[in-house]
Structure 1
Amino acid sequence: MQGHKQFTDKVVVHFRLSERVPRHNLYRRLDEVLDLRFLYPETQVLYSHTGQPALDPVVFFKLLLVGRLENIASDRRLLAHCALRLDILLFLGYELDEELPWHSTISRTRQLYPTALFEHLFDRVFHLCVAQGLVAGDTQAIDSAPVKANASLDSLCEKQAAAPLVLTVAGQPAPASTLPTAALLSAPAHQLRREAARKAKHGSEPGALGGKRPHARLVSNKTHYSPSDPEARISIKPGKARALNYLCSLAVDPAKGVISHIQADLADSHDSLHLPGLIERLQARLTANEVPLREVVADTSYANGFNYAFLEQRGLTAWIPASKLYKPTIEGFTYLPDVNAYYCPAGKLLPFRNYGSTPDGSWQKNYRADYKDCSRCPLKARCVPKTAQRKITRTAFDAPYLRAWQRQHSRQGQHMRRVRQGTVEPALGQLLPHYGLRRVGTKGQAGAHKTMLLAAAAYNLRKLLKHRVTQPRSMALVLQPDLLSAFSSPFWLA
């Protein structure tokens, strides 16, 4: 007979939430693994001893972890989602008839808690991964990716020329908090004039951006800022549209793909500039967990002489491919270390002139020939046809750079390149689209850093819950010698 289900919206009296959630549920197993009671003493100083009870810090961080695990970045959507899930309510410690916190309470609490508290949570999760044998630590792969900021390019404002220094009656500079916002978000007048001239030049060229699209704006971080998030930076990645972003820099352990470090950086700077600070914090975390760090793997964007020398000074082997523009030797020129100069094919010296800085945060040595020597040289048409004199630029850390170049072309260097591709790139491929990092929902670099720490902690927790400690079959046979003899008996072979 055909069945017809009748629904009656009745009040259930005998109901226990723990009986409705199975034991193998993700959040039940997570609650057994993760102990967040350390948050109570660390957040006690942030609250007054009087007044209404605030949001439980354990509940707050559980909510944020649920948002990362469920790939929900909005606080409103997160609370609406949690109200419909029995397992999440049990994980948070809420009954069916209890109201969840208001979304503005979560936002205010996120701003109240310092960044160090979020880093402590990440350290706790990372320590659990180390204790379960998920981290080898001797090799770390480093990479970065842009993450969209919570700001739009349509709302950019032009920077004003920097105002003269405001002095108080005592003759001292006024504090930054008393200055208007336009004075803080300003740029030097000469920089604005240079950018305005560049914009006019591009607009007047036939077929240029301004010529074909008169309504298009030439914007840059030097002349524009976002009023809603002044720390967001305009950046562009090949194959993607220009946007206001933050830079997500992270380190991944190749053993099981656990994230060992993550940080939010400004998106308009070179990746190589962030390597020294990242290595210092990463090495401190690994040392605290008694895990030695010996090798660092990264791509070419982190390659410069300063980073190679920095890693060697800390006793680390850098598996970072050298730039394609780097040449171990210059054809036709001989370096004379005694006089710190180059000897050209015409028999003239190119002495050392001065040091210079590079945009990627390194230093370079400039060698330049004398003007008279090059003007009378018969090889000028072949050597320097478009300039007045021959110039040679070399990195100030040539010896570490040469050693890195030699490692890159070895068999081990090719292997480490594949290690990086199979370690950090899959982590970024999962972390950004599946853990709420398509767009940072907070404002400022500190808020972006908190969001990335929570996403990495959720990523590591999922790795931890998937890990199963299994014993090899040989161990079971050793523990049961009678079973081993049974396998080798003639009856078993028959």
Structure 2
Amino acid sequence: MMGRCKSEQGQLFYAFDLEAVVPDDHQVRQIAAVLDLSWVRAELAPHYSNTGRPSVDPELMIRMLILGYVFAIRSERALCREVQLNLAYRWFCGLGIEDRIPDHSAFTRARNERFRDHDVFRHVFEHVVVSCIKAGLVGGDGFAVDASLIAADANKCRSTPGDKWSHDIDPMRARRAVQDYLANLDDPAWGRATDVVPKFVAPSDPAAQWTGALRSAAFFAYADNYLVDIKFGIIMDVEASRAIRQSEVGASQTMIERTEKTFGIKPDWLVADTAYGAAQNLHFLVDVKGIAPHIPVIDKSKRDDGTFSRDDFIYDEARDQCICPSGKILPRSSGARGPRGDDAISYFSRVADCRDCPLKSKCCPNSPSRKITRHVHEAARDVARAIAKTPAYDQTRRDRKKVEMLFAHLKRILRLGRLRLRGPAGARFEFTLAAIAQNLRRFAKLALHPPNTAAPCVA
């Protein structure tokens, strides 16, 4: 007898167990095992009224948003459809088979009001990091820092030349992204990051930076900054900034200080690329924080014309003077700073010493005397140069790839190649959620397959 897949008469009663339907090896089970949101309602309670119609459960919205970034569903409309259909997603969110899914507009209101006022996703991120620390997944000895450009939701065709853009805007009549930009004009990571007028400004998102840093077609972008623990690649902090080097370096300092304040962890050494090798940043790491910089030094003193470079001169720290290859002294200039008014200190040789010097042709063939400049933080630069000659430096250069792999995972797997939200607040929201998703995926994987914690660390 030929069977039928469906009876013509509807079934009156159903016995459906959602717990039994979700496979034991599904990723939502692994993530649910390491995610604790039991504290959310108590912390968000002051932001809700005691009267009126009950709101959508904030823990449900947070779970849905985390789910969306874990599985690269960043559209809230698409997320609501997926949770409506996918039984595993319903189970993760604590929804029954007949429970209604929140409307996508509820996420917009919560993100721009209660979630933003409380900065709840920053707290979720910190709780996940604390769980990773308790599980022994954070070494705390060495960190890596880097930034990656993420395209902004801005169009070149609708941009305005930077010299024609005016900050004289009524905040009350501006869009939310413009209001957010105006509110951050005094922030070193945004408005005060640089005095250089950008080539183009996007009126819809003025905080987005017009950049050609990727050596391809220029575009509007934000910088996603990560501070990563080297041991297992756990993201210790995340920060959004403008897509320029000054902002990225400032963001790295903010993350280091915030990690020390929040978790009580300060690394012994930090690895980064040349963009972080400026003297001011090395001074912050060496003299202020006591962190060994495994960072290439930005140094343009090397000469390629056959004449002596600055490295050929010996600096006498006790007498604050330089000694040339022929043994003559270059005393410090009378000014506290060099003639350029920057942080470079100048040392000039005497004309009489150079006039009859047999090495003049290799030292200063086109000038009567030689000038050597040293930065006021040259001692910190010397520390970085000395570290670059050690065997540990070669290993940390390889370890730096862990943060680059996280950015590759962010763009290829989580599909965060372009922002959906605008303004500094929108960039922070998306970057923080993406970092939460990456830490949860890593935490769940390592919890399922415990790593060998006896692996050696670089001293």
In the alignment, is residue 443 of structure 1 matched against residue 422 of structure 2?
yes
In structure 1, list runs of 5 or more residues that go unmatched: 166-174, 186-219, 473-494
Write the mapping of 1:13-92 to structure 2, written as runs, cut at 5 A.
13-14=13-14, 15-92=16-93
Q: Which deviates more, 88-97 or 446-455?
A: 88-97
* Gap change, CA 1:68 and 1:344, over 3 Å in 2: same
CA distance in 2, matches of 1:388, 1:154: 54
The 2-side partners of 1:27 and 1:281 are apart by: 30
User: Cα RMSD (Å) of the superposition?
Assistant: 4.0
Contact 1:67-1:436 within 8 A present in 2 as well: no
In structure 2, give the amino acid aligned to 1:75.
E
Structure 1 Cα separation of the partners of residues 245 and 7 of structure 2: 62
Map residues 143-292 of structure 1 onto 2, 5 A cutoff: 143-159=146-162, 177=171, 221-270=197-246, 271-287=248-264, 291=265
For residues 410 and 167 of structure 2, the distance between their equivalents in structure 1, rounded to whole angstroms, comes to 45
After TM superposition, the structure 1 stretch with the greater mean CA deviation from structure 2, 348-357 or 94-103, is 348-357
Question: 1:416 — aligned with what?
Answer: 396
Distance 1:6 1:332, change over 3 A: closer
- Is the 8 Å Cα contact of residues 30 and 445 (structure 2) preserved in structure 1? no
User: In 1, distance between residues paired with 2:103 and 2:410?
Assistant: 27
Task: Quote the Cα distance in structure 2 between the aligned partners of 1:6 and 1:341.
Answer: 92
Equivalent of residue 375 in structure 2, options 388, 395, 399: 395
8 Å contact kept, 1:368–1:391 = yes
Is 2:297 the counterpart of 1:322?
A: yes
2: CA distance between counterparts of 1:6 and 1:163?
67
* 2:400 counterpart SS class: helix
The alpha carbon displacement at 1:120 in A equals 0.7
> What do residues 430-477 of structure 1 show as CA deviations (whole Å, max 9, x unaligned)?
1232224211211111221121111111111111221247899xxxxx
Contact 2:259/2:266 (CA < 8 Å) preserved in 1?
no
Cα displacement (A) at 1:337: 5.0
Deviations 1:312-365 (A, max 9, x none): 23222221122353569626655465774556689795743453799xxxx631
1:348-390 per-position Cα deviation (integer Å, ceiling 9, x unaligned): 95743453799xxxx6314275999999999998766788986
Residue equivalent to 2:186: none
| Counterparts of 2:374 and 2:391, CA distance in 1 | 27
Q: CA deviation at 1:221?
A: 4.9
Q: Does 1:355 align with 2:356?
A: no
Unpaired stretches in structure 2, ≥5 consecutive residues? 183-195, 303-307, 452-459
Shift in Å at residue 299 of structure 1?
A: 1.4
Per the TM alignment, residue 255 of structure 1 is displaced from its structure 2 partner at its CA by 1.8
Q: TM-score, normalised by structure 1?
A: 0.73
Alpha-carbon deviations, 1:393-437, whole Å to 9, x = none? 32221112112101102212112111212x212222212322242
Structure 1 residue 153: deviation in Å? 1.6
Q: Which amino acid aligns with 2:146?
A: D
Shift of 1:266: 0.9
Q: Deviations over 1:1-20 (max 9, x none)?
A: 9x886456856731332232
Structure-2 separation of matches of 1:434 and 1:67: 12
Query: Per-residue displacement from partner, 1:99-138 (whole Å, max 9, x unpaired)?
Result: 3222222122111112632111001111111122211111
Does structure 1 retain, via aligned residues, the 8 Å contact 2:354–2:360?
yes
> How many residues are treated as equivalent by the alignment?
421
TM-score, length basis structure 2: 0.78
Output the CA distance in 2 between the equivalents of 1:262 and 1:164. Answer: 28
The separation in 2 between residues aligned to 1:150 and 1:344, in whole angstroms, is 55
Identity among equivalent pairs (%): 27
State the shift of 1:41 in Å: 1.9
Q: Which has the larger radius of gyration?
A: 1
Worse overlay, 267-276 or 342-351: 342-351
Deviation, structure 1 residue 280:
0.5
Does the Cα contact within 8 Å between 1:374 and 1:380 map onto a contact in 2? no
In structure 2, the CA distance between the partners of 1:72 and 1:241, relative to structure 1 (3 Å rule), is farther
Once the two structures are superposed, what CA deviation does each residue of 1:201-235 show, in whole Å capped at 9, x if it has no partner?
xxxxxxxxxxxxxxxxxxx9535321111111112
> Which amino acid in 2 is paired with 1:275?
S
Task: After TM superposition, give the deviation of residue 69 of structure 1 in Å.
Answer: 1.0
Distance, in Å, in 2 between the alignment partners of 1:324 and 1:159 is 31
